Amino acid sequence: MIWTDGVSSSAVAALAYSEAGDPDAPVALLVHGYPNSSYLWRDCLEPIAAAGWRAVAPDLPGFGDSPLTPGARGTWADHVAALDDFVAREALAPVALVAHDWGALIGLRWACERTYAVRALAIMGSGFFPDGRWHGLAQGLRTLGEGEQLLDALTRESFGELLRSASPRVTDDAIDEYWKAYDGPQRRRAHLALYRSGEFSELQAYEGALAAMDVPTLLLWGENDAFAPVAGAFRFKREIPHAELVVVEGAGHFLHEDAPDRVAAELSRFLGTVRAGVR
């Protein structure tokens, strides 16, 4: 086991997950970002299953219905370890990795170390660049004192307002599901550990690794993404020349909420073409 940050594999908690599809079909592993949960993929599971995959969407530790990992702080490394353990525990590999936001920062780091376990990539609303910069909210969470104040002051109502400012179509049910990540001080402090535990410069070790995998790759982006601007999608395209780039018009960072049918259609179409080549 790698990336344990001092936590043994046996201590990694089992993750809750949602799934759809034939249990014997190849696996599409859908990894959510911050501050979401597997509920983010609710409109994608069945279409991906219809394209011939077993769609599996875990809740990362401390999000949705997954407990915090015992003995872990919730760092970037802890989350990669938990994902690695989940894939091994459920015997999912090789997978088509579909990842959004922090899910891509976690999932792509895992994929670069487990290239044999990856048969395709779909990257959404994220960055994986050594010279990356934190957006405004992330900078606040990374700042000692300010991050604590931000999280301690957050209520279900203010959280909902924050999400709706980024994605007006987000539903009350979605807000309730994502709010689970703020249930108690331990979960909230784990958010600070996630944002403060790593630097983009660490990704220097993986430069060129995504292109070198030479697997089918989809870049699926919201045209109006304020947290991971669409310029990042074009940079991915330059670094992974064989990747397909799809920009969803009018959608923002949470494009699953803004354009659920389009996102589900694009993912199922892409994975359907990948499935045609999977034996």
Is residue 7 scored above 80 in pLDDT?
Answer: no
Is residue 133 scored above 50 in pLDDT?
Answer: yes
Average pLDDT of the residues in 13-33: 95
Residue whose C-alpha is closest to residue 10's, from 101, 82, 103:
82
Is residue 11 scored above 50 in pLDDT?
Answer: no
pLDDT band at 278 (very low <50, low <70, confident <90, very high): confident
Q: Can you tell me the distance from the alpha carbon of 125 to that of 225, in angstroms, rounded to the nearest whole number? A: 7
Do 244 and 23 meet the contact criterion of CB atoms below 8 Å apart?
A: no
Confidence (pLDDT) at 277: 87
Q: Model confidence over 184-193: pLDDT tens digits? A: 999 999 999 9
Structure tokens at 240: 């992974």
Do 108 and 133 meet the contact criterion of CB atoms below 8 Å apart?
A: no
Cis peptide before 94 (omega within 30 of 0): yes
Q: Can you tell me the distance from the alpha carbon of 100 to that of 123, in angstroms, rounded to the nearest whole number? A: 6
Cis peptide before 35 (omega within 30 of 0): yes
Name the strands in the sheet holding 54-58, side by side, starting at the edge strand that comes first in the sequence. Answer: 17-20, 54-58, 27-31, 95-100, 118-124, 217-222, 244-248
Give the domain ranges of the chain.
Answer: 9-133+201-276
Angle at which helices 185-196 and 146-153 cross, to 10°: 140
Question: How are beta strands 17-20 and 54-58 bridged, if at all?
Answer: antiparallel
Average pLDDT of the residues in 97-103: 98
Confidence (pLDDT) at 9: 38
**Amino acid, res. 135:** H
The CATH number of domain 9-133+201-276 is 3.40.50.1820: yes
